[in-house]
Amino acid sequence: MNKSYYITTAIFYASAIPHIGNVYEGILADAIARFKKLEGYDVNFQTGTDEHGQKIQLKAEEQGITPQSYVDEIAIEIATIFDSVNVDYTKFMKTTDPYHKAQVQKIYTKLFEQGDIYKGHYEGHYCIPCESFFTETQLEDGKCPDCGKDVVEQKEEAYFLKLSKYQERLVNYIKDNPEFIQPESRKNEMLNNFLANELPDLCVSRSSFDWGVELPFDKEHVSYVWIDALSNYITGIGFDLDGNHSEEFNKYWPADVHMIGKDILRFHTIYWPIMLMALDIELPKQIFGHPWILTGSEKMSKSKGNLIYTDDLIKYFGIDATRYYVLHEIPYSQDGTLTYELFIERFNSDLANTLGNLVNRTISMINKYFGGEVRKPNEQTELDQELIDACEAALGRVTESMNVLKVGDSIEEIIKLLRRANKYIDETQPWVLGKDEAQFDRLSTVLYNLIETIRVSAVLLQAYMPDTAANILKQINTDVNTFESIKEFGGYVSGVTLDKPTPLFNRIKASEKLEEIENDI
Ligand SMILES: [Zn+2]
């Protein structure tokens, strides 16, 4: 049996269509999931929607439809966006799913019966859009510190989860398991900012609205956010509180990675592990808080009017360029920047020039000099050996970065290999060799080496840019596409014939493209 790998994204709050800053998370998790599959793992990749809460109830009322119809529509739209960028999830989880709701009820009951949940009442400044209570000191100019909107005074009966009971155990766990919270800087943030003082109890129910999971022991109350939302990671693969777990749960839990935005790290590294400890369930192996995509220097937000949507990027640049940009440009722990200007620059330099030109030039030369036939290589020189070494090292380098989820660095390794191949063309000057028939043996070796380097790159690119990788492999007429096949140079089978190349990425004229975008807005 293959080794298993379980990766999740956060579930998206089904109140609005996500922008590229949110969709990034899906693309990131997808690249990791695809990479793991290529490594031979049985991968389960779960995403979905968080579908309860007051904000959704209010939005549905505004539109005169039921909350269920409202979230069903949004869930379809979100799934469609993911499909549009080839995010190949195993399961799209909805928290209105009946199995999930039944398990959430069992979880509440167990926590209540063992005394971890108690009834009290909540009082505070409440931001409806953010669904969060704030204390007086947290407010900024009397308004919500997260979205800047007005808050309302709210007091109501509510149930609370005793977090402090498990606090010491959690702190020890985080210290004993240095990989649990990544990147490292975020771990320190959690330990120093949130876990240094006694944790306040967590409000886990509401009684002023009813769009939530009804609490079995108090029907005046519905679930409030976290117990409902977070437990999707286990219910989605068939966890059962009574122990009748599905095969999937036994196989995939504990999760290898929960991929989440850094802004919800606290909920995933404090509330979620405490819930699991209280339920006596093993903790996930890692919580990874990815950085944000900024436009210019600001976080994307509706109120700032600087949102960039995935379908626009696809329309202007294509699916794989969009995937490439966000995967390559958003650093591991610091925020990355997305503007149309930067996008065009990166598109032209990496995709049109470094990758596109290399493939195009190489296939063109094979057509020009050998009628499209890729001949077998002859004696390899010292110069060739440098390229061969770079190819044979590529998988190891890419894997090393992927193992620590440095996805941007891992793609950069592929770009480096492509740059090396372009340099090899300058060094070997095949157009000079092509003028002299006595040099044709040498020329066929050079071209074979280039085609094999392109194949190695395409095999690696399958995780990040699946369509482009498939296109390249088709153009170089090979189906040898496994990781195993690129460990040693020479996996490409010579003797096949190539058609004329079709360009992968056409260079963009920045002024024209920016004008087109401007006219659309
Ligand atoms: Zn707010």
pLDDT per residue as tens digits for the range 300-330: 777 777 889 999 999 999 999 999 999 999 9
Q: What b-and-e string marks burial along 168-189, b requiring 16 or more CB atoms within 10 Å of the CB? A: eebeeebeeeeebbbbeebbeb
CA distance 231 to 202: 16
Per residue in 132-163, pLDDT tens? 778 787 888 899 987 889 999 988 899 999 99
pTM as predicted: 0.94
**Residues 352/470/93/232 CA torsion (nearest 10 deg):** -80
Distance from Cα 147 to the centre of ligand 1, integer Å: 4
* Residue 521 Cα to ligand 1 middle (Å): 27
Give 511 Cα–ligand 1 centroid separation in angstroms: 38
Element housing 414 (H / E)? helix 407-428
Instruction: Identify each DSSP E strand in 51-176 by its residue range.
Output: 91-94, 117-127, 132-134, 152-161
Distance CA 228, CA 437 (A): 72
Residue with tokens 């219910």: 235
In 3D space, the residue among 485, 429, 430 whose CA is nearest the CA of residue 457 turns out to be 485
CA distance 256 to 237: 14
Residue 139: predicted pLDDT:
87
Q: Is the pLDDT of residue 407 over 90?
A: yes
What average pLDDT does this structure show over 419-430? 98
Cα dihedral sign, 94-97-103-105: positive
Measured in Å, residue 236 CA sits from the centre of ligand 1 at: 29
pLDDT bucket at 176, cuts 50 / 70 / 90: very high
Q: How far away, in angstroms, is 15 Cα from ligand 1 center? A: 14
Q: Are 495 and 374 in contact (CB under 8 A)?
A: yes
Q: 365-387, pLDDT tens digit by residue?
A: 999 999 999 999 999 999 999 99
Helix 407-428 vs helix 440-461: crossing angle, to nearest 10: 170
Q: How far is the CA of 222 from the centre of ligand 1 (A)?
A: 21
Residue entry with tokens 């990758």: 355
**For residue 265, how far is its CA from the centre of ligand 1 (angstroms)?**
18
Q: Is 117 left (phi over 0), alpha (psi -120 to 50) or beta?
A: beta
At 1 the pLDDT is 60
Q: Which amino acid does the sequence have at 213?
A: V
Question: Residue 145 Cα, ligand 1 centroid: separation in angstroms?
Answer: 7
Task: Give me ligand 1 centre to Cα 151, in Å.
Answer: 7
